[in-house]
Structure 1
Amino acid sequence: MNNLWDQIRRSQDEDDEEMMATNAIVMAAVAQESGNQHRGRGSHPGRAPNEERFREERGKDATGKVGLLPEQKMTAALRMLAYGAGADQCAEYCRMAKSTSVAALQHFTRGIVDLYSTKYLRAPTAADLRQLLTKAERRGFPGMIGSIDFASYDTWIWHAFFGVPGACNDLNVLAKSPLFDDLTAGRAPLVQFQVNNRAHNLGYYLADGIYPRWATFLKTVRNPTRPKEIKFAKAQEGYRKDVERCFGILQSRFGIIRGAARGWHKEDLRYIMLTCIILHNMIVENQRPEDSDDELESDDEEDNNMRPRIAEVWEGPTDRDFDPVGRDAHHMNGFMDRYQQIRSKQCHSNLQEDLIQHFWEFQGNRRI
């Protein structure tokens, strides 16, 4: 028995010696290989040397010091936009001075606006209007484009106007906004729809009580009493809130909008706001399903035949005999006719009454 234990111990000792010899050979090989390589500044023994990323491509100052990486400046700008962090808070994370962080945000916002404003801050085209009108018609509001306060049904922001001095209530902003300039000048696409056996030639936006009674606004019914008015008011207010949630989404994505202005100049605030809107529209476009004309139709063929599309959009100006607005009487008369049509209280009342009846006929038996 003792001889057996002696053999086992000798076998274990031999295995240990063999393992130690193998480890020594491996360590010597690693040490030799690391000694042949150039160990970069900041790396530790046994690790790969630091990569000299873009050190030859980046600029240098008068003392020969290499500048900051573009990734550092982009990270600082995005952190300030997304988290609402101050410029001094980016110093520790991005290794940048406060003035450099501010300059990086200024260059980033101006670059985004210059590159992408034509695509992501454009007015809706005829194809966009067809899609918006089809979605709205499914909810019982034919001819509706979106909400005047903010966006369309998918939270895409079509119109951004801010920076008005003085009391910035809805009426003062509307009076200075260029939202209806193209429509008044006759350069907007033509939208026509028929509701309750009456034709309407202007698309409209959902609005709350402070807005005027224009033909381009659809307001809720104040103190509704009849069942059809109650159902219409609930649907109009509910759909308007679905659209206006967009500003809450925008604030949740970009913390710089939630906080104070932090002493930014007016021009910087304008570019910051436009950049946040452009990036928001990029996210909406990326998450939007690829809708086609076939997908916008109902799955039921009989339903499509019984309820044809009510709203139609045509390319070109709203006035078939459109001429550029000039100082002569002929051109000015057409401009004033469109101006009065947009601000017509009678057209607003007719639109509201027709849609109340239309919504009651098509949505009265459905649960909203």
Structure 2
Amino acid sequence: MAYGSAADAVDEYLCLGESTALSCLKHFTEAIISLFGDEYLRRPTAVDLQQLLDVGESRGFPRMIGSIDCMHWVWKNCPTAWKGQYTRGSGKPTIVLEAVASHDLWIWHAFFEPPDRAPKVKYYVNGNQYRYAYYLTDGIYPKWATFVQSIPLPQDLKTRCFAKHQESVRKDVERAFGVLQARFAIVKNPALIWDKQKIGNIMRACIILHNMIVENERDHYNLVDTTEFEQGDLTRCSQVDMSFSTDLASNIGNMIGIRNEIRDRKTHDLLQADLLEHMWHKFGHLEDY
């Protein structure tokens, strides 16, 4: 996994056949997921979420819980019948990993669809109230209330300030993908396995091991100062709604209502405008644009 070598690369040196090496890889990834998946691929707890909100607020994006983007893993041995549905502009079949990463490169979610849900938090920005946290994205994502994109071709000082900080903070997920590929060359080189489930297990195992390393190393550095929020909720403008539960009984009416709220274009535009004013008020006097 670390070197991305072929399965038969050590058949003479270690007298380990190709089929045995692939079987060891399969059992190793399944064991990693079974033993550590619940902890290192977990959803953010209330404590985790409040920490993410504090970090986002200190960086100028209150209520932001991470950045989201896609990574394409070339599938060299994709079956011919499937190549059409897995091929994009490059002409090579790829498997898409979509993930959410935080400032410390911890990968919180790994999935194959945009998140159609978001944690519920209490928040006011520029005098307006919002109900859901959001992710920073690039321009390929839809204009939903849970996605905040940069401003293309900013013309004035306010939009330049917002675009500069949004694009800077959004690079967290890009950095996470780069570190993941540097640590595990198997996800950087083209996938040689035929089975989609085995490929998915390899990716999940690599993410779990990556998060283990992040947990072990992040106590030795502090990228963001959140001491101003240690006094309690009075110093925060973003708070987790502890009374909110995702285990409540749901019906089709509630699901449609929440779905419409998350996909509301008007809320997205209003949130982006409020964040632009908030960003200018926080950083506009500090830098020359």
TM-score after normalising by structure 2: 0.81
Q: Structure 2: how far apart are the matches of 1:298 and 1:94?
A: 55
Please name the residue that 1:285 is paired with.
215
Please name the residue that 1:360 is paired with.
280
Q: Which has the higher contact order (CA 8 A, sep 6+)?
A: 2
**1:137 pairs with one of 24, 48, 57:** 57
**2:238 pairs with one of 299, 308, 311:** 311
Q: Does 1:180 align with 2:116?
A: yes
Please name the residue that 2:206 is paired with.
276
Is there any run of 5+ residues in structure 1 with no aligned partner, and where?
Answer: 1-80, 163-172, 326-330
With over 3 angstroms needed to count, the CA separation of the structure-2 counterparts of 1:224 and 1:117, relative to structure 1, is: same
Q: Does 1:123 align with 2:43?
A: yes
With over 3 angstroms needed to count, the CA separation of the structure-2 counterparts of 1:336 and 1:275, relative to structure 1, is: same
**1:227 pairs with one of 134, 157, 182:** 157
Is there any run of 5+ residues in structure 2 with no aligned partner, and where?
Answer: 70-98
Deviation at 1:298, TM superposition (A): 3.2
Farther off after superposition, 331-340 or 211-220? 331-340
1:115 corresponds to which letter in structure 2? L
Q: Structure 2: how far apart are the matches of 1:193 and 1:243?
A: 24
User: Structure 2 matches for 1:38-77, cutoff 5 A?
Assistant: none
Does the CA-based 8 Å contact 2:53-2:238 persist in structure 1?
A: yes
Please name the residue that 2:66 is paired with.
146
Deviation at 1:97, TM superposition (A): 1.6
**Matched position secondary structure for 1:159:** strand
Deviation at 1:194, TM superposition (A): 0.9
Q: Structure 2: how far apart are the matches of 1:291 and 1:89?
A: 38
Deviation at 1:358, TM superposition (A): 0.5
Deviation at 1:297, TM superposition (A): 1.6
Does the CA-based 8 Å contact 2:228-2:235 persist in structure 1?
A: no
Please name the residue that 2:91 is paired with.
none
Please name the residue that 1:324 is paired with.
249
Deviation at 1:363, TM superposition (A): 1.0
With over 3 angstroms needed to count, the CA separation of the structure-2 counterparts of 1:261 and 1:98, relative to structure 1, is: same
Does the CA-based 8 Å contact 1:154-1:243 persist in structure 2?
A: no
Between Structure 1 and Structure 2, whose CA radius of gyration is higher? 1
Which structure shows the higher strand fraction? Answer: 2
Alignment deviations for residues 137-159 of structure 1 (CA, whole Å, 9 cap, x no partner):
11100000001213111111111
Please name the residue that 2:139 is paired with.
209
Which structure shows the higher helix fraction? Answer: 1
Please name the residue that 2:106 is paired with.
156
**Matched position secondary structure for 1:88:** coil
**2:12 pairs with one of 92, 98, 105:** 92
Q: Structure 1: how far apart are the matches of 2:243 and 2:279?
A: 30
**Matched position secondary structure for 2:105:** coil
Q: Structure 1: how far apart are the matches of 2:258 and 2:133?
A: 13
Deviation at 1:317, TM superposition (A): 2.5
**Matched position secondary structure for 2:44:** coil
Please name the residue that 1:41 is paired with.
none
Q: Does 1:350 align with 2:275?
A: no
Alignment deviations for residues 138-193 of structure 1 (CA, whole Å, 9 cap, x no partner):
1100000001213111111111124xxxxxxxxxx43xxxx335x4xxxx5x3121
Does the CA-based 8 Å contact 1:144-1:205 persist in structure 2?
A: yes
Q: Structure 1: how far apart are the matches of 2:61 and 2:13?
A: 50
Q: Structure 1: how far apart are the matches of 2:172 and 2:107?
A: 14
User: Structure 2 matches for 1:240-255, cutoff 5 A?
Assistant: 240-255=170-185
Does the CA-based 8 Å contact 1:133-1:144 persist in structure 2?
A: yes
* RMSD (Å), alpha carbons: 2.5
Q: Does 1:200 align with 2:130?
A: yes
Deviation at 1:245, TM superposition (A): 1.1
**Matched position secondary structure for 1:89:** coil
Question: Could you tell me the percent identity over the aligned residues?
Answer: 44
TM-score after normalising by structure 1: 0.65
Deviation at 1:290, TM superposition (A): 8.1
Alignment length (residue pairs): 255
1:107 corresponds to which letter in structure 2? H
2:127 corresponds to which letter in structure 1? N
